[in-house]
Structure 1
Amino acid sequence: MGRHGAPTRRGRGAGPGTGTVVVVALLVALLAGAVAWRGWVATTGTGPFLPWAGCERTPDVSVVTTAAMAPVVKDVAADLDDVCARFTVTAEAPDVTVQRYAGDGEGAPDVWLPDSSLLAEEVAEGDRTTVSVGGPVAATPVLIAVPSGLEAPAPASWGTTIVAPTTRLPEPTQSTVGRIALMVGLAEIDALPAAARSTSLSGIGGMLSRVVPEASLLSAHAGGTDPAVFPTTEQAVHEAAPPGLSVVVPASATPALEYPVVTSRSAPAEAVAALTAALTSAAGSDALRAAGFRTPRDRSPVVEGGPAAAALDVEPSPEQAAAAQRMWAAVATPTRLLTVIDTSGSMAQSAASGGSRIEVASRAATGAIQLLADHNSVGLWTFSTRQQGDRDWTQLQAVGELGREDQRARLAFSLGSLATRLGGDTGLYDTLDAAYRRAVEDHDPTAANLVALFTDGVNDDPAGGLTLAQLTTRLREVGSADTPVTVLLVGMGGVDARALAPVARAVPTGGGGGAAVFTVEKPEDIADVYVTMLLRRVPQQG
């Protein structure tokens, strides 16, 4: 008995009882474990970030943002010790998150911090009762990155940058940076005088071959074996800090990525308010600045050469965004183009800009082909009267993909031979009928199907041929909304556009098809014609 009692007596005389020691040890262990857990989730960023004890309820709060912003949001959420909520922060591309709001929005996060206020407003516009959009907690300007040994396009603008052959462009459908560069660049090009606009537009066709994943810009193109000029953000340059990379601020405009807070109506209001307050607090601002972002508290540059706060512009307008989306969809969507050129005797006459009309047509068609990337398909016909028996037209090159089997070279050779093929009158109606039917027969549902017909006059076929009424009937017999074809009637040599308007009206408009009339006097004018086609701005014929 004494041996069992002795330790008890020593314990009473020495300090707290065994029960108290156990309780204290457990509290210390729990405290140490809680600190270790919060430190672990803050370090790994996996979450969820757990609230401290004492909360009656601890709702889960899902937060989605970009890969660049996610580390800061995770750190800030991990430090919200007195908030009764479990935050789970996930990095996701904005174009992926947008899809979560489709339909009933069941998969949408409680909180979304996209890198675009315009994108946030587009989502909110769908249903204002589902989400609300708050002010931005951070921003970062979009700049032109220039590796050592290279120079930015001159003058340094977004218009010159997107069409320059030395640049790379992040995929506009997946990258906000790429989308903004395209939007602002196209708006700048559209505002140029005619001659300068045509020169700039001639580089649009090559854009597709210069598109790269955004993640590769700073890793593969900031130096090394494939250096290139590219648009990026001040934050990305700050984070990567590649040696020898400088930034150029375009004189024309300095758009910025903004990070608004998009909140689901069903999200716990107090938790969301606490997270927003933490991000906009002095400590939150310091954390965002350390990661390379500008904040409402401090809009000053974070990298050498960055633009002053006063130079930052708002994001492009919804109209600019829509135009850019149309353009990019058109550039990325294959074009199936049948070019038909008038080789009647009158095409040997001089053009107003110098040279013969056939030379202008040949150079214009060559320039048009240069606008198109390798995934597009182009063919070439000529027409006059009785070129092959009773047939008014001749196929020089079947429609084929430009990037295969030397199609570009074959087209160039055939275009160069047009001056030797002149003669006859203008069998316009029969030729348009045949070209339209061929386009319908060979219709590619994945492409924009086009016929571009160059002529210096109206229909003039002494041998007879179709009348305008017969042409209209025949085109409508084969035209269908399921196989839309767009016809570009390109007048040359002083031909009155109004004389070609009735021909344009004969072309069926179902399914997005139809026709438009243009006039060109100089080869470079064709750039405007084809970009009009790319933008699908085909005017209605009255």
Structure 2
Amino acid sequence: MGRHSLPDEAGADAPGPRPRTRGRTVAVATALVLTVAAGTAAAVRGDLLSFGDSCRDEAVELDVVAAPDIAPALRAAADDAREKEVTSDGSCIDVRVTARDSYKVADELRTGQGDAGYDVWVPDSELWLQRVGPGSMQNKVSPAGNIASSPVGMAMVPSAAESLGWPEKTYDWLELTGAAMKSDKLRLGAADPARSATGLLALAKLSTAAGKPGGKGGDTRAAEMAKALSSRTSDSDSRLVDTVARDASGTEKGKPRRNQALILSEQAAYKHNASAGEENSLDMFYPKDGSPRLDYPYTLVREDELSTDQSRAALRFMTLFSDDEGRAILAEHGFRTGTEAPSAKLVTAAGGRTPQPYTAEASEPPGEKELQETLGMWTITVQSARLSTVVDVSDSMGAFVPGQNRSRMEVTKSSLLRALAGFTDEDEIGLWEFATFLDGERDYRELVPTRRLGDRKGDGTQRDRVSEAFSDLAPIPGGATGLYDTTLAAYEEATSTYASGKFNALVVLTDGVNQDPGSISRRSLVSRLENLSDPKRPVPLIAIAVGPDADKEEVVQIAEATGGSGHQVDDPAQIHAVILKAIMEAGSHG
């Protein structure tokens, strides 16, 4: 099946996870996981692997945390397995399912906060596994296969769908979103891409359609689209569905104007239509350039700490969804199963009709870099950003990048100009440069004050001034890296001019270590940054070490003193993606 994932919120009817019981620890080899998922599932289902005939022995307990949309189906399967005394190695399996938003679980696993307390995680999309990342050694996640899928499209109240020619007329993502956002007559809602895989997959698709990264006007157009969507964004998919209009006009006395179109999964539309009645049902558009899909990866959590019994019971439970009965349970809850064409009954119930391309192959899921850029763009677009940028102009920035006929400075400027294109006129950007004794005794110099990009002065805008200043950056012959004094001065300025309601950050780019013997020490710098940092007025420092001569450990230590992050890139062309990744991570904790 295709791969995807969703958010995880605690279900009101679900008890909390049981204390995690661990027996003999053993790592389940990846090969075994894949083999059971793909080949030996039939043997497992048939109890050919030492399964007993009864539940005389104590049941194997298994705690599963799942995305809220699929949790009811998993609970139904768990109840069915309990009733039929399904066994694993002769012992019954006792599965308890808790619904939680996937973004919360992903952040919990990524940061390693506390004991996970569950053995299996079923988010709505593989995107959340990418969020956890391979570096999360405290809470390792091991996907064993995908148990269901649901395409993402655009659901509309019938009057709105009819106005756009549904179901005969088909649109690609950009056309459909553009038609829905053309005027306030057709109000489009979406779930927050930072918290919803549905929202993130759609925004990534729209960003790609708006223009290739770095293409003329592409990044700016994507940011403008995100800004428009953000005005009608809900915290979660369930809350988004609650915003849909209940009549043709979308107006209800004494209440805000409701949405007439929603970016929604097929399963969410199916669930809504099942209880809404014909008058309040939704019609479903499937964009012709491909619908990304939620793919519900069945994931073992910290598998090296699971006992053999728990590991095998977890895989046993997964195989139930390859059986006819398990697939029927998923279908009853509005999910697609297998790779064959979806049933007409399911699609019709979700609001789909021919000739909408609902049987088309799922579009390729976005890569990790694309996701980072999309989320970074969303963070700075929705909140509006205030970024003070500080760039190293020491002599070493003139060194050539290996494999390229361009210097570090030239590539850095190109990356900064590309990043600038992704900001809207509401964002505030400024620029400092630094090298030793750049301005008398000072190692730094302000080139452009941090102001709103749309502000006009004379014949140009702030964006024009920043763009020109980026383009004019040049290495200072003989200049060394005055990193410490510059960082302190820039951070003092950024915190003293904090803009409430915006994402505030200081970005420092350097290709070396501090080379000013007369500056403060690193220990003193870290201490003073910690004193200046205020959690109520956060200004994370995003420090980027460029090239092999820079010290990543140094920039990490300095940045973390402010709640920010340090990074190292071998190629300055990576700066744009790193800035967006850092903004996304910092913004998710804001």
Matched, 1:213 2:235: yes
Residue of structure 2 equivalent to 1:256 = 293
Task: Determine if the alignment matches structure 1 residue 227 to structure 2 residue 259.
Answer: yes
Q: Provide closer, same or farther for how the CA distance between residues 535 and 127 of structure 1 changes in structure 2, counting only shifts above 3 A.
A: closer
Report how far residue 256 of structure 1 moved: 0.3
For residues 75-96 of structure 1, give each alpha carbon's deviation from its aligned partner in whole angstroms, at most 9, with x where no partner exists: 1111112231322111111122
Provide the residue aligned with 1:371 in structure 2: 424
Q: Show the counterpart of 2:369.
A: 319
Any conservation in 2 of the 1:140–1:256 contact (CA below 8 Å)?
A: yes
**SS state at 2:188 partner:** coil
Counterpart amino acid of residue 221 in structure 1: V
How is 1:64-213 mapped onto 2 (pairs within 5 angstroms)? 64-80=65-81, 81-83=84-86, 84-102=92-110, 103=112, 106-120=115-129, 123=132, 125=134, 126-127=136-137, 130-147=140-157, 148-149=159-160, 156-157=172-173, 161=177, 164=181, 166-191=187-212, 194-195=215-216, 197=218, 200-201=221-222, 203=224, 204-213=226-235
Describe the SS at the equivalent of 1:82.
Answer: coil
Higher relative contact order (CA 8 A, sep 6+): 2
Instruction: Tell me, in whole angstroms, the C-alpha distance in 1 between the residues paired with 2:15 and 2:223.
Output: 48
User: Which residue does the alignment assign to 1:240?
Assistant: 272
Query: Given the superposition, is the C-alpha separation of residues 120 and 192 from structure 1 closer, same or farther in structure 2, using an over 3 Å criterion?
Result: closer
- Partners of 1:45 and 1:74 within 8 A in 2: no
Give the superposition deviation at 1:46: 6.4
Cα distance in 2 for partners of 1:298, 1:238 equals: 19
Task: Write the distance in 2 (CA, Å) between the matches of 1:47 and 1:202.
Answer: 39
Q: Is the 8 A contact 1:97 1:108 kept in 2?
A: no
SS of the equivalent of 1:79 reads: helix
**Alignment partner, residue 56 of structure 2:** 55
Q: CA deviation at 1:111?
A: 1.7
Alignment-mate amino acid for residue 373 of structure 2: A
TM-score, scaled to structure 1:
0.55
Q: Which has the larger radius of gyration?
A: 1
Q: 78-87 vs 207-216, which deviates more?
A: 207-216
Q: What are the Cα deviations for residues 135-166 of structure 1, in whole angstroms up to 9, with x where unaligned? A: 11110001122333366799531597399475
Distance 1:438 1:124 in 2: 34
Aligned-partner Cα distance in 1 for 2:313–2:541: 55
Question: What runs of 5+ residues in structure 1 fail to find an aligned partner?
Answer: 1-43, 340-366, 381-397, 419-425, 430-435, 452-472, 487-508, 514-530
Cα separation, partners in 2 of 1:222 and 1:141, compared to 1, 3 Å: farther
TM-score w.r.t. structure 2 length?
Answer: 0.51
Task: Report how far residue 133 of structure 1 moved.
Answer: 1.4
Q: Distance in 2 between matches of 1:294 and 1:67?
A: 16
Query: What's 2:549 paired with?
Result: none
Change (3 A) 1:442 1:221: farther
**SS of residue matched to 2:149:** strand
- Return the letter of the residue paired with 2:199: G
Question: What amino acid does structure 1 have at the position aligned with 2:370?
Answer: Q
Aligned residues of 2:341 and 2:359 also touching (Cα < 8 A): yes
Where in structure 2 are there 5+ consecutive unaligned residues? 1-12, 19-51, 87-91, 251-256, 390-419, 432-448, 462-468, 474-486, 509-515, 530-538, 543-554, 560-564, 567-575, 584-590
For residues 139 and 234 of structure 2, the distance between their equivalents in structure 1, rounded to whole angstroms, comes to 38
The RMSD of aligned alpha carbons is 5.6
> How many residues get paired?
385
Task: Trace 1:454-493 onto structure 2 (pairs within 5 A).
Answer: none
Q: CA deviation at 1:123?
A: 4.4
How far apart in 2 are the matches of 1:368 and 1:194?
Answer: 10
